[in-house]
A and B are shown apart, each in its own frame.
Chain A
């Protein structure tokens, strides 16, 4: 139980385009989902917290207009990187909590490369 998937696992896009990453909770309802970013050889940094049906809460320094987060259902959250640039290349990981325990379950991550 408590499986989280991400799609795609890897994506390459050209500078200036937008790319959408999906995060799904497969066997539980996720009231809250989190988006993290991990640069090479670095730790995970929380980008934003999203609750189903409401606006995401972004961490300081994260541009909300660049990283659009939508959490329209209890099983799906999306992260859209708009007008991507090479410096946005990173490993993006989502996690989800099932209301009872609040423990976060992590997805397998999405490797974004912007050329």
Chain B
């Protein structure tokens, strides 16, 4: 079984300040973890993914996330927010096969809406 909890439904930051979106997961096996971004009425865009390699993962648009097994966390960060970062962000977990590749069902967190103020 697997589950994901995004600890904040809304996060509001000022442009140029750091972003922290929190995610905790639960999984009975080695997980693959993802962060996706969704702009209004659009599909999902993959920001970054962890699939059992380096625990600090760098993604697109300056985002990164660190897999912390002891804390069962995969928080998303960015040093400096941009207005275009305003969107909804989803933390996602899936199983990982023996080869270290994600497979099977994706389980989505509830989403965090990021607002960026000028």
Contact = CB atoms under 8 A, between A and B. Distances in A.
Interface of A: 6, 34, 42-46, 49, 91, 93, 95, 101-104, 106-109, 111
A43 B101 contact: no
Contact of B44 (A42, A93, A101, A111): A93
A103 B32 CA distance: 10
A93 B102 contact: no
Given A42-B111, A46-B106, A91-B41, 19 more contacts: A6-B43, A34-B106, A43-B108, A43-B110, A43-B111, A44-B108, A93-B44, A95-B106, A101-B101, A102-B97, A102-B101, A102-B102, A102-B103, A103-B49, A103-B101, A106-B43, A107-B43, A108-B43, A111-B41
Q: Which of B43, B44, B102, B110 has most A Cβ within 10 Å? A: B43
Interface in B31-56: 36, 41-45, 49
Given A43-B90, A44-B90, A108-B42, A103 B102 contact: yes
A93 to B, nearest CB: 6
A109 B105 contact: no
Nearest to A4: B43
Interface residues of B, number: 19
Nearest to B113: A41
B10 to A, nearest CB: 11
Interface of B: 36, 41-45, 49, 90, 97, 101-106, 108-111
A95 B42 CA distance: 13
A95 to B, nearest CB: 8
Contacts of B102: 101-103
Q: Which of A44, A101, A108, A111 has most B Cβ within 10 Å? A: A44
